[in-house]
Structure 1
Amino acid sequence: MAILAAVHHLTHYKYDRPVVLGPQVIRLQPAPHSRTKVLSHSLKVEPKNHFVNLQQDPYGNFLARFVFPEPVTELKIEVDLVADMTVYNPFDFFVEESAETFPFDYPEEIREDLAIYRTPEPAGPLLSKFLDSIDRSPTNTVNFLVDLNARLQREIAYIVRMETGVFSPEETLAAAKGSCRDSSWLLVQILRNLGIAARFVSGYLIQLKPDLVSLDGPPGTAVDFTDLHAWCEVYIPGAGWIGFDPTSGLLTGESHVPLAATPHYRNAAPISGVASFANVDFGFDMRVDRIAEHPRITKPFSDESWEALDALGNKVDAVLRDEDVRLTMGGEPTFVSIDDFESAEW
């Protein structure tokens, strides 16, 4: 029983003169390892005069490489997908006994395969100071990762940055704030310095207004919305790649739809390519619509069903009034026959 959410994503470049486009690499197809089930997906690119090659990159992500043989005055990219927003437990995994306690080492048979995800960039003074503050004494691995992710959420304030690029860990720590991609890249570097395999993930975040407002936790979004997002994934023996979102301080769930998971953020950009010089009018739009809602514990009936039930109830009330039927409520019968108290009517 779930909600089906339809996502529409539009990216539109309008140029003030004909431009020559280099190959455009588009990474807007949900990745193979997405735990959120994607029921349908379509990618539409204009101008229609182009060549396209559908590929998988060295890390298994889907990409589409577009080549435009003639100069263009616009580039329009539209994505439509339908996601099954069935809730799942992000902790629904097992950890190999050898990795249950941090620090741990990876099995020899996969150690070399994970080398690219365990090699950090040189740490600056602020990152080194942060690393020194981390307690390395033996502890439960999952708890350690959860606490580290939550710490970043507390110490790095979230901001919206429209400019391109990703802050270095030093820049993010110095500012104590950053976008989702900044804090995710910081978490990747912290984990690699701890010997833990980590990768950068770009994807869609689909957040739906909750049926009930939490009494003791975050209230959640007030409206349904979707946007591009970034987070981190950690390889845990036995569990595989597990998503951690330092923006929320939580594990990733059904709201996270990965598009690309790579060792470096530069290979996870949703759209990459070059164009000759021109002034650009940039258009961007994202929206999410609920196209199906099944009954569930927190919302057993649709709004239309509730209206029908209310209308029927009002009709019954009217009939009872017209027939002068009066209802009373009470406990057990108060009066019984003194002469025939064992008869069926009592």
Structure 2
Amino acid sequence: MHMHVAIHHHTRYQYDRPVLHSTHFLRLKPAAHSRTPIEAYSLTIKPEKYQIHWQQDPFGNFIARIDFEEFMQELSIDVDIVADISQINPFDFFLDDYAQYFPFDYEPQLKKDLAPYLEITEQSPALLQWLDAIDRSGRGIIDFLVMLNEKIFKDIRYTVRMEPGVQTSEETLQYAIGSCRDSAWLLVQVLRHLGLAARFVSGYLVQLASGSSSGSVSSSLSEDFTALHAWAEVYIPGAGWIGLDATSGLMAGEGHIPLACTPSPESAAPITGTAEKSETILTYRNTVERL
């Protein structure tokens, strides 16, 4: 059975005076590799005096470049998506023979292609100590990935953090608490230290309340839910990119809709751009409706 949902994402900036805006870059269109089928998509920006050019970044993500033509006292950005959120088996993939068990080495050409996703940028004491406790004896690669994902889920308590940016792995481990983007970045660094190519993912998470006959169902929810979210993807030969959500300790499924997948969080921000200094009110809303 198919479950279609309508996702609405509204962002509005209100200023105390008319201001000029720099060029804005929006990473708010589902990625081409999304396993959740996207039936319809629209992006609405107001005021309407602007130029839009769709591009792809070096990693294949869709980017809307917005060049504004006038002073504005308000800027609103609305995304509408219709998605088929029928259940997906997150383990429905093949593995190349040499990648069946951890540890393994990527083939030379593939390793060159994956170089940006193998770069280790953090080697803090807390991270190295956490890694030392990992059992690296040979085992099935999927069992190993599930174990890593669950360990971060158990070790790092989730919080909604409104401050900009992403914590370092050291901060996340020392505080033992972080937002979804903090846990995702920690998992990316852990995977790279273990010789596995990993990337940071920004996207939408859709969770449907219990009682649904299909879709990403959460028995702990009393109503349907969607929000911007972050998780990690690891590259396993034969399977390709596999999503791991350290916030829940689960594999990414039909409720995970990727928007931008990049080697570092800075390149995956949903909206980047600046406005002249002013007093600003930000309004943000995410909703999902079953169709």
Q: Which amino acid aligns with 2:174?
A: A
Matches within 5 A, 1:221-236: 221-236=221-236
Structure 1 unaligned segments of length 5 or more: list them.
292-346
Give the Cα–Cα distance (whole angstroms) in 2 for the partners of residues 143 and 104 of structure 1.
14
Supply the AA of the counterpart residue of 1:263. P
Show the counterpart of 1:317: none
What is residue 22 of structure 1 aligned with on the other side? 22
2:275 alignment counterpart: 275
Higher relative CO (Cα under 8 Å, sequence separation at least 6) belongs to 2
Structure 2 counterpart of 1:264: 264
Deviations 1:130-178 (A, max 9, x none): 1111111111111000010001101100001112111110110011010
Partner of 1:5: 5
Partner Cα distance (1:194, 1:274) in 2: 38
Aligned length: 288
CA distance in 1, matches of 2:25, 2:15: 19
Q: What per-residue deviation string (whole Å, max 9, x for no partner) do you get for residues 28-74 of structure 1?
A: 00000000001000000111110111000000000100011222111
Q: Matches of 2:132 and 2:285 in 1, distance apart?
A: 43
Question: Hey, what does 1:200 align to over in structure 2?
Answer: 200
SS in 2 for 1:288: strand
Distance 1:85 1:285 in 2: 20
Which residue is equivalent to 2:33? 33
Structural RMSD (CA): 1.3
Q: Offset of 1:109 from its aligned partner?
A: 2.0
User: What does 1:76-87 correspond to in 2, within 5 Å?
Assistant: 76-87=76-87
**Partners in 2 of 1:272 and 1:212 — Cα distance?**
36
The 5-angstrom pairing of residues 216-255 of structure 1 reads: 219-255=219-255
Highest CA radius of gyration, 1 or 2?
Answer: 1
Are positions 1:159 and 2:159 aligned together? yes
Q: 2:19·2:71 contact (CA, 8 Å) conserved in 1?
A: yes
Residue by residue over 1:110-149, the C-alpha shift from the partner in whole angstroms, topping out at 9 and shown as x without a partner, is 1101011001113111001011111111111110000100
Question: Secondary structure of 1:120's partner?
Answer: coil
In 1, Cα distance between the equivalents of 2:145 and 2:53? 39
Once residues 210 and 235 of structure 1 are traced to their aligned partners in structure 2, the CA distance between those partners, rounded to angstroms, is 32
Q: Which residue of 1 aligns with 2:143?
A: 143
Give the aligned residue type for 2:35: R
- Greater CA drift, 39-48 or 204-213: 204-213
Corresponding residue number in structure 2 for 1:329: none
- SS of the residue aligned with 1:153? helix
Q: Which amino acid aligns with 1:282?
A: L
Checking the alignment, whether the CA contact within 8 Å between 2:209 and 2:219 is kept in structure 1 is no
For residues 42 and 68 of structure 1, the distance between their equivalents in structure 2, rounded to whole angstroms, comes to 19
Q: Deviations over 1:186-218 (max 9, x none)?
A: 0000101111000000000011112279xxxx7
**1:282 deviation in Å?**
0.7
Spell out the pairing of 1:113-128 with structure 2 (5 A cutoff): 113-128=113-128
Which ranges of structure 2 fall in alignment gaps of 5 or more residues?
Answer: none
- Distance in structure 1 (CA, Å) of the matches to 2:286 and 2:192: 33
Deviations 1:299-337 (A, max 9, x none): xxxxxxxxxxxxxxxxxxxxxxxxxxxxxxxxxxxxxxx
Aligned to 1:187: 187
SS at match of 1:32: coil
Percent identity between the aligned chains? Answer: 52
1:284 aligns with 2:284: yes
Residue matched to 1:330: none
Shift of 1:3: 1.2
* SS of alignment partner, residue 152 of structure 2: helix
Offset at residue 20 of structure 1 (A): 1.3
Shift of 1:219: 2.7
Q: Which residue of structure 2 aligns with residue 332 of structure 1?
A: none
Runs of 4+ displaced beyond 3 Å: none
